[in-house]
Amino acid sequence: MTNHEDSNDRGSQEKQRVALTSVIAALFLVGGKLAVGLWTNSLGILSEALHSGLDLVAAGLTFWAVRVSSRPADDKHTYGHGKVENLSALFETLLLLATCVWIIFEASSRLLKKEADAVDASIVAFVIVVASILIDISRSRALKRVADKYDSQALHADALHFSTDIWSSAVVLVGLIGVRLAEPLHAPWLRKADAFAALGVAGIVVWVSLKLGKTAIDSLLDSVPPQLPETIRLAALTVDGVMSVRQVRVRKAGPDFFADVTVVTQANTYLEQAHEIAHQVDDAIQRHLPKADVVVHVEPEHISEDTLPQMVHLIAHRHGILAHDIVVRHGLEQSVLEAHVELPGSLRVDAAHAKVTEFEKEILNARPDLHHVLTHIEPIERATCTIPIDASRVHALIEELATSSSFGAWHPSHIEVCGTENTVSVSFHCIVNGEETVGYAHELSERLERTLRERMPELGRITIHIEPRQDGIDNP
């Protein structure tokens, strides 16, 4: 058994123990108040006896509820049995409201009579009411302490019942005092103080019942404090890697909170990184909701046409592939992604084809709008630290072509020369006037590549990227 399970077991036993003692206390109060109420004919004490009778039923329900709610989740109740406490609280509310109807009816009947019913405000009546107040104080404190400790709504409801008994018994005590003083003070109207006291008890019980019922209904409907989802959202946003929080759902079953959170991360986040981010979001939420059951769903940010190459590079990396020259061609009925992929030159064709096929499938799964992925397999060119020819010669040749009038007005930038085991790759930006046509730019790049190969036959791959000149200033 884990420490958490052992703690839950001890908590369940403590809740059941305090609920059982409340049942015994309520049983004693019902018997005492009923006997004294019938003997003295005090409606206030009889209404209190009925109120305590409902407390006995409520205490019994509470004892049953805390036993059932402590059961672990099963296939039928996947969120556990915590809602049983809320159901018992709602049932207690209905019982209290039904009692109030009878108390109000009986008290109104006595008040409408010309002669007040005889009430024996004896010392026994005072003793049972005072004893009731002392017992109620003891039980309400014990119940509230355990309810706060374990966040038990059923025990909170029971504590509220006993707390209400304190005030309602005090009202009855005032009514008995009024009856006792009616004759010495020559105030006949005080003989009806007992009925007025009963109405006071009913008013208190109605108020408490409505408050308790609202709390129970809110819990059954999964209502939570309005600031709680925002608190959880802000907690998730404190985690590095979380770009936004798409959805927060919170519910409570008994003392337990359940939170479902959807966070958005960058599209190039690795699976391991996403898993770690989810753990950190869970920890951040636990600092605000200790012991909550948190489920974190990680989603990548929406991938637009601009971020598609980034996604392809990420998928290629997961498959041990290098990708370049990534383009999407949109036809009348379908969109096709084309890419050059590099694999070790020693790899067998069937193995390379299998690896690339898995790579293509993952791209199609990530982008359902694509109808096909077309790849061109090339051997990897592994760079070395030595360059077969002098890179300065390449730079000088490109600068020479840029100043030649036969190639028109253009300007080179970002010149890169990479030496490999067998050849030299060259790439640079060709900046032209933005008003020129695409046909002109394509023809210029072909002429430049052809001239470079004529002048330096040892060159391998040549990549020329066309850029427009902006506001009369050459791009860096």
User: By percentage, how much of the chain surpasses pLDDT 70?
Assistant: 78
Q: 1 falls in which pLDDT band (50, 70, 90)?
A: very low
> Could you report the per-residue pLDDT of 363-398, keeping only the tens digit for each?
888 777 788 898 888 887 544 434 445 677 888 889
Q: 451 falls in which pLDDT band (50, 70, 90)?
A: very high
> Could you report the per-residue pLDDT of 55-70, keeping only the tens digit for each?
777 777 777 777 777 6
pLDDT score at 187: 65
pLDDT score at 475: 47
> Could you report the per-residue pLDDT of 284-331, keeping only the tens digit for each?
999 988 878 899 999 877 655 556 777 787 788 778 888 877 888 877
pLDDT score at 303: 57
**CB–CB of 37/164 below 8 Å?**
no
What does DSSP say about strands 459-469 and 424-433: parallel, antiparallel, or unpaired? parallel
The three-class DSSP label of residue 250 is: strand
CA distances to 342, 347, 354 from 351, rounded to whole Å, are: 13, 7, 5
189: pLDDT strictly greater than 90:
no
The rounded Cα 3 to chain-centroid distance in angstroms is 25
The distance in angstroms from the start CA to the end CA of the chain is 66
**CB–CB of 18/168 below 8 Å?**
no
* Least confidently predicted of 80-89, 300-309, 351-360, 467-476: 467-476
474: pLDDT strictly greater than 50:
no
pLDDT score at 472: 45
What does DSSP say about strands 335-343 and 372-379: parallel, antiparallel, or unpaired? parallel
Q: Could you tell me the domains of the chain?
A: 3-220 (1.20.1510.10), 228-300 (3.30.70.1350), 308-379 (3.30.70.1350), 391-469 (3.30.70.1350)
Proportion of the chain in helix, strand, coil states, percent, rounded to 5: 60, 20, 25
* Mean pLDDT, residues 149-165: 72
> Could you report the per-residue pLDDT of 323-372, keeping only the tens digit for each?
877 888 877 678 888 888 888 888 888 888 899 999 999 888 877 778 88
Average pLDDT of the residues of the chain: 77
E-assigned strand segments in 369-474? 372-379, 411-419, 424-433, 459-469
